[in-house]
Structure 1
Amino acid sequence: MNKSKLQIIAMLTMLCDHLAKVLIYPVIIEQHSIAWLQIHRLYLRSYDALTFVGKITFPIFAFFIVEGFFHTKNLSNYVKRLLDLAIISEIPFDLATSGKLINLKSQNVIWTLLLGLLIIVSLQNKKRWFGLILSLGLLVVAYFLKIDWGVYPGVLLIIVFYLIRGHKKLLPLGYLLMLPEVGFLSGVELAFVLLALYNGNKGRIGGYVCYIFYPLHLLLLGILQFILI
């Protein structure tokens, strides 16, 4: 498995997750009674199946944030790209998840990835005490921003991937970190199996495909949800 293949899988599983949460749940499940849903169980089963598959997404993107940190030739540009994407994605995310153009109750997952990256950068500071203080400050910011996947397990998973980088045998530590939050046999297990197959090669697809896909598919799903409801 090279980076491109894993990112394609992550984008497809993300699409599955958002189809369930942006379309199936608000358009169908919320609009019908429990009795109706018991008769039409296919919708509930589809929702469960799609969200199960969707759990694969975040660990893969979190893993490649760390890989990007070690491989980027220009760290400031890498941070800037994530910041730009987080800002651009906020309205599509809010529209898809809340039906509003602006919703301060939660922020999109790119903020989670960005804050995780900034903490890694902080931990690399030559003055370790300063880096630790800065990292703690960023964790506080992440908590109050109410980012997708949260400080735990979201940001902490990125830190774990940073600490264990180069040691594939320690990948299960990432899974154990997430286990109390997601539960056993939640779909997350599949992400760590795929990451264990990563061969270190980049592949043919550039990172910009992921950058475009995230806000674009959320915007389209949000508009479709608005039309259907």
Structure 2
Amino acid sequence: MKLNKQFSITGYTLKMIAIITMLIDHIGAFTLGEGLLYQDYIQSNPVLFENLKILYMVMRQIGRMAFPIFCFLLVEGFIHTKNVRKYALRLLLFAFISEIPFDLALGGTFFDFNQQNIFFTLFIGLVVMIMASRFEGKVIFQLITFIVGMLAGYLLNVDYSFMGIFLLEILYFFRFNRKNQVSSGAISVLWEPAAVLGFIPIWFYNGERGRSMKYFFYWFYPVHILILAVINMIFFPR
């Protein structure tokens, strides 16, 4: 689908939108939600506490935009990658690298199996796409693959659980029709209404990669979460 270039954006711009909104979300989730709001001097001031709580909720809602964009970019990456095996291994590697910072920021412990970071969600989604592509034209086998993927997301308790895997599957299924991809994707995230906004920049994606930032997100994710975790431990101990 060709778009007026004056109103189109590249994959680089999409990724930056996702990274910025994710950062806003994580500052809200970790620095406010897991740190500042639990401090006695904040809780003893009702007005300040309520204002910070509102700020927390606003930041979390802004952050809902990020996940649909990352899912869309994963589907695009799967379509265009020259080596899907290396792509999957890279996601899995950074899933393990990111888990300790994620657990520290979320619960203050080095290991917490109650929830796994977003890289595990993306890894499972990519594996589902790989398997589904091998069953092209075999609807029953593809459906089984989709169900198994959602079950894995649920049992492993990855970020966004089985609904995150479901979104990835929807975006993969409609990967060759942007209109259907955007509309069905938006419907599939109605349980997080603010996430629908993520499909606005996706609609204007022009299919061009833009500036290369291959490893920036991979390292940005664990590093920024680790920084937020350290800030909490130093300034907002619980």
Q: What is the total number of aligned residue pairs between the two structures? A: 224
**What secondary structure is seen at the aligned counterpart in 2 of 1:26?**
coil
Which residue of structure 2 lines up, in the alignment, with residue 201 of structure 1?
208
- TM-aligned CA deviation for residue 53 of structure 1: 1.1
For structure 2, list consecutive stretches of 5 or more residues without a partner in the other structure.
Answer: 1-8
Distance 1:39 1:213, change over 3 A: closer
The 2-side partners of 1:211 and 1:82 are apart by: 8
The alignment status of 1:57 with 2:66, answered yes or no, reads yes
* SS across alignment from 2:34: helix
Match of 2:159 among 148, 155, 172: 148
Moved more, 170-179 or 133-142: 133-142
Compare 65-74 and 166-175 and name the one that shifted more.
Answer: 166-175
Letter in structure 2 aligned against 1:79: A
12, 30, 47: which one pairs with 1:4?
12
For residue 106 of structure 1, give the secondary structure of its aligned residue in structure 2: coil
Q: The residue matched to 2:35 in structure 1 has which SS?
A: helix
Cα offset, 1:208, TM superposition: 0.7
TM-score calculated relative to the size of structure 1: 0.91
Matched with 1:100 is 109
Shift of 1:52: 1.6
- How far residue 39 of structure 1 moved from its aligned partner, in angstroms, is 4.4
**Contact 1:56/1:190 (8 A) holds in 2:** yes
**Cα gap change, 1:10 to 1:147, in 2 (>3 Å):** same
In terms of mean alpha carbon deviation, does 87-96 or 121-130 score higher?
A: 121-130
Measured after TM superposition, the shift of residue 150 of structure 1 is: 0.7
Superposition deviation, residue 80 in structure 1 = 0.7
Partner of 1:70: 79
Tell me, yes or no, if the aligned pair for 2:189 and 2:196 is still in contact at 8 Å: no
User: Is 12-21 or 161-170 further displaced after alignment?
Assistant: 161-170
Q: Taking structure 1 as reference, are residues 38 and 116 closer, same or farther at Cα in structure 2, changes over 3 Å only?
A: same
Quote the Cα distance in structure 2 between the aligned partners of 1:160 and 1:102.
32
Q: Identity of aligned pairs, percent?
A: 33
Return the alpha-carbon distance in structure 2 between the equivalents of residues 92 and 40 of structure 1: 27
1:108–1:30 Cα change, 3 Å: same
Partner of 1:86: 95
For the Cα contact (< 8 Å) 1:157–1:177, is it kept in 2? yes
3-state SS of 2:209 partner = coil
Q: 1:160 to 1:132 in 2, by over 3 A?
A: closer
Does structure 1 residue 16 correspond to structure 2 residue 24?
yes
* 1:207 partner letter: K
The structure-2 alpha-carbon separation of the partners of 1:131 and 1:218, relative to structure 1 and needing over 3 Å to count, comes to: same
Alpha-carbon distance in 1 for matches of 2:30, 2:90: 26
Runs of 4+ aligned structure 1 residues displaced above 6 Å come to none
Cα gap change, 1:138 to 1:39, in 2 (>3 Å): closer
By how many angstroms is 1:148 displaced? 0.4
Partner of 1:48: 57
**Is the 8 Å Cα contact of residues 122 and 132 (structure 1) preserved in structure 2?**
no
Distance across 2 between alignment mates of 1:44 and 1:126: 48
One-letter code aligned to 1:210: F
- 1:37 touches 1:44 (CA, 8 Å); kept in 2? no
Q: In structure 2, what residue type is equivalent to 1:54?
A: G
Q: Does 1:163 align with 2:173?
A: yes
Which shifted more, 83-92 or 36-45? 36-45
Q: Quick one: distance in 2 between partners of 1:39 and 1:54?
A: 22
